[in-house]
Amino acid sequence: MSPALSHEEIFAGRIAADERIEPKDWMPEGYRRNLIRQISQHAHSEVIGMQPEGAWITRAPSLKRKTVLLAKVQDEGGHGLYLYSAAETLGTSREEMIQALQSGRAKYASIFNYPCMSWGDVGAIGWLVDGAAIVNQISLQQTSYGPYARAMVRICKEESFHQRQGYDIMLNLCRGSGEQIAMAQDALDRWWWPSLMMFGPHDAESAHSSRSMAWKIKRQSNDELRQKFVDQTVPQAEFLGLRIPDPKLQWNEERGHYDFGEIDWEEFARVVAGDGPCNAERIDHHVRAHEDGAWVRKAMLAYEERHR
Ligand code: BYC
């Protein structure tokens, strides 16, 4: 009779066989902690990410645009909620995660620390930010943790609508007046580089990648996904008649990919460390909204207590 396998061996075998790990399964502590880190930061990005576009709901140029944007921003809130729930299955609580966000211990996507200054920016966020998010999240549909992978399936369906609504705004601007075309170009100029930063540091600099790839939490690397995004977005910009703000951008026949210039990693580090144009504003807003909602949480607890 062969000796019984250890927890570690069973876990490793399931990862190797591409089986999903579920909440009640045994998992290494490092796997659990790494997932809580990534999923909670993903949730924070969705929720903080409601702010730049949310501020434009009252200023959308037509009733149709307003209803579409309202639905889009609500979807982002929903994504945050699925993801917080997925993280809770790993033994953390919503309170702990919110506390980590508000105290600056937990990160969220650096891109949401840039200001949304024009209607063109709303288009660029949908086109580029949701576009980058889809590339990353399609890959995460194959992540090894069941609740995270399943959340990604639904989120990707909604993100695809978000990307299209952003591209549709850009298309309309680019078919409009000279002033509208200039607005679209200005938005692309400001959002292009922060969008490339969404994929994180280069693989060689990425602290978590090797463990996350071994555990199949991440299925493709930061640089692979960034390249995929560039390759699919350049033709979209060409169709719009816009110029990507990168003099080094060029098709490389040999590689079968676009070459592109270097990201300003100092700017990335600065914004991630809390010193971007809107970091303080984003967290202040979150703290205020959370305090304003305290009565709802209190009422829910009182209701639950009464019915217990
Ligand atoms: N911004 O070892 P690395 C949306 C941090 S929202 C800030 O490569 P990892 C939307 C990283 O956290 C969807 N920080 O990390 C919503 C780590 O710090 P810690 C957002 C970043 O985890 C509203 C350190 O740098 N999508 O679609 O292996 C409106 C070292 O990095 C960033 C997700 O959240 C960054 N860009 O890989 C519109 C995707 N990049 O934790 C749209 C889920 C890195 O050690 N997340 N850092 O303190 C992931 O796929 C991975 O976490 C990342 C980074 C690829 C982002």
pLDDT (tens digit, 0 to 9) for every residue of the chain, 308 residues total? 567 999 999 999 999 999 999 999 999 999 999 999 999 999 999 999 999 999 999 999 999 999 999 999 999 999 999 999 999 999 999 999 999 999 999 999 999 999 999 999 999 999 999 999 999 999 999 999 999 999 999 999 999 999 999 999 999 999 999 999 999 999 999 999 999 999 999 999 999 999 999 999 999 999 999 999 999 999 999 999 999 999 999 999 999 999 999 999 999 999 999 999 999 999 999 999 999 999 999 999 999 999 99
Radius of gyration of the chain, Cα coordinates, nearest whole angstrom? 21
What is the 42 CA–ligand 1 centroid distance (Å)? 7
* Cβ neighbours of residue 6 closer than 8 Å, sequence gap 6 or more: none
* Cβ neighbours of residue 244 closer than 8 Å, sequence gap 6 or more: 188, 192, 233, 234, 237
- The CA distance from 27 to 227, in Å, is 32
DSSP state of 202: -
The phi and psi torsions of 118 (rounded to 5 degrees) equal: -150, 170
Nearest to 122 by CA among 43, 198, 57, 45: 57
| Tokens representing residue 280 in the block | 């303080």
What size, in residues, is the chain? 308
- The CA distance from 214 to 191, in Å, is 32
Q: Determine if ligand 1 sits within 6 Å of the CB of residue 160.
A: no
**175-191-157-241 Cα dihedral, nearest 10 degrees:** 30
| Tokens representing residue 122 in the block | 């709303």
Q: Which of 135, 136, 169 for mutating ligand 1's site (highest number of atoms within 8 Å of CB)? A: 136
